[in-house]
Amino acid sequence: MRRVLIDGHNDLVLHRWRHEPTKHMDLEAARAAGLAGAFFALYVPSPAIPDPTEIPYALPLPAAIPHVEAARIADELYAALCELPVGRATSTADFREGEVAAIVHLEGAEAIAPDLSNLEDWYARDLRSIGLTWSRPNQFAEGVPFRFPSGSDTGPGLTTVGVELVRACNQLGIIVDLSHLNWAGFWDVAGISEAPLVATHSNAHALCAASRNLADEQLDAIRDSGGVVGVNFAVTFLREDGCEVPETPLAEIVRHIDHYAERMGIDHVAFGSDFDGAVVPAELGGAAGLPKLVDALRDAGYDDDAVAKITHGNWLRVLDATWHS
Ligand SMILES: [Zn+2]
């Protein structure tokens, strides 16, 4: 494949559901840039928390959203996704040059019933990836609150039904996403899951001490499982100072990719943009700017083989290993 990109996270669906214009995910531009596949998050929003203006910051953990309410909103989000002019991917054969295929992803598992009775219904809707939590607690696990500087060891691990959900995902062939999960939850999943470990949109804590970022030991576990991490383009998770500065250079993304490649090897690094969910470097703009990032990787010394792995090859390997298709 010539220039095919696969990306680990975007929030376009939330914008569509709210009838807001997209900031980063113009689909025509994304297609032209080579985006063939992306995780389209169905995120049931918590009440907005103001962006932290001072460093350090320690935002409170948002309240849980009850299952019934979350399930109703997730249905609406799913309907909004279905109205987008994109295909849906349930096999890596569904990624084709010149088309965008959506990987249906729940960001936070609140919409799944505590007895898992609707998980197969969601599978039938092409759901192929579940982030156990957003940054809040739910019936399965607890997410990490937004803090800087902070580690992610902020609360309890998986509940009994959380363990059952991970096993059910393994059985059905659904990705279990570790982004937003706290430290205890991460290690619970690492101990249970039979699939490669995946963090769809998370950065390196060694380079930016945000609670959302992954410690080197976590990266080692992802590498050892044959998994992958999508580098998040959110400037607050890239910059050493944790500040929300739109003029952050593209090189900050490459800095995290370098760290991942050094720590885990080139087979475990991918993109996880967080387009439409975060402030990303102005130099990149949005999906239309992805070729600039590919050029920056080449300028940094990544050869064709390495670039192919980062842009799509690693995602394809992990999806093939996880999905039953
Ligand atoms: Zn997220």
Mean pLDDT computed over every residue of the chain: 97
Q: How far is the CA of 201 from the centre of ligand 1 (A)?
A: 7
Give the pLDDT score at 24: 98
Residue 2 banded pLDDT, cuts 50, 70, 90: low
| Other CB atoms within 10 Å distance of the CB of residue 182 | 26
Give the pLDDT score at 84: 98
CA 297 distance to own-chain centroid: 21
Query: What does the block give as tokens for 241?
Result: 């100072």
Q: How far is the CA of 38 from the centre of ligand 1 (A)?
A: 14
Contact of 37 with 100, CB cutoff 8 Å: yes
Contact of 12 with 275, CB cutoff 8 Å: yes
Beta bridge partners of 199: 229
In this prediction, residues 314-319 reach a mean pLDDT of: 98
Q: How far is the CA of 143 from the centre of ligand 1 (A)?
A: 11
Q: How far is the CA of 110 from the centre of ligand 1 (A)?
A: 15
Confirm whether pTM is higher than 0.85: yes
- DSSP 8-state assignment for residue 214: B
**Cα distance between residue 39 and residue 232, in whole Å:** 13
Q: How far is the CA of 131 from the centre of ligand 1 (A)?
A: 9
Does residue 100 carry a pLDDT above 70?
yes
**Cα distance between residue 118 and residue 62, in whole Å:** 25
* Residue given tokens 């959506």 in the structure block: 102
In this prediction, residues 227-233 reach a mean pLDDT of: 99
Q: How far is the CA of 94 from the centre of ligand 1 (A)?
A: 24
Give the pLDDT score at 1: 44
Q: How far is the CA of 234 from the centre of ligand 1 (A)?
A: 10
Secondary structure of residue 58 in the 3-state scheme:
strand
**Cα distance between residue 196 and residue 316, in whole Å:** 12
Give the pLDDT score at 53: 80
Closest Cα partner for 5 from 160, 213, 231? Answer: 231
Q: How far is the CA of 186 from the centre of ligand 1 (A)?
A: 15
Residue pLDDT, tens place only, 158-211? 999 999 999 999 999 999 999 999 999 999 999 999 999 999 999 999 999 999
Q: How far is the CA of 182 from the centre of ligand 1 (A)?
A: 13
Secondary structure of residue 33 in the 3-state scheme:
helix
- Single-letter amino acid code for the residue at 209: A
Give the pLDDT score at 52: 79
Residue pLDDT, tens place only, 43-97? 999 998 877 789 999 999 999 999 999 999 999 999 999 999 999 999 999 999 9
- DSSP 8-state assignment for residue 187: H
Give the pLDDT score at 12: 98
Query: What does the block give as tokens for 108?
Result: 């936070």
- Single-letter amino acid code for the residue at 71: A
Helices (H), the chain: 12-17, 27-33, 67-82, 119-124, 160-172, 183-192, 216-224, 235-238, 251-264, 290-299, 304-308, 314-322
Q: How far is the CA of 226 from the centre of ligand 1 (A)?
A: 22
Closest Cα partner for 103 from 206, 219, 12? Answer: 12
Does residue 278 carry a pLDDT above 60?
yes
Q: How far is the CA of 216 from the centre of ligand 1 (A)?
A: 20
- DSSP 8-state assignment for residue 66: -
Does residue 109 carry a pLDDT above 50?
yes
Contact of 119 with 182, CB cutoff 8 Å: no
Does residue 3 carry a pLDDT above 90?
no
| Other CB atoms within 10 Å distance of the CB of residue 47 | 7
Rounded to 5 degrees, φ, ψ at 39 are -75, 115
Rounded to 5 degrees, φ, ψ at 8 are -85, -10
| Other CB atoms within 10 Å distance of the CB of residue 178 | 27
Closest Cα partner for 111 from 73, 79, 161? Answer: 73
In this prediction, residues 2-29 reach a mean pLDDT of: 95
3 Rama sector, left if φ>0, alpha if ψ -120 to 50, beta otherwise = beta
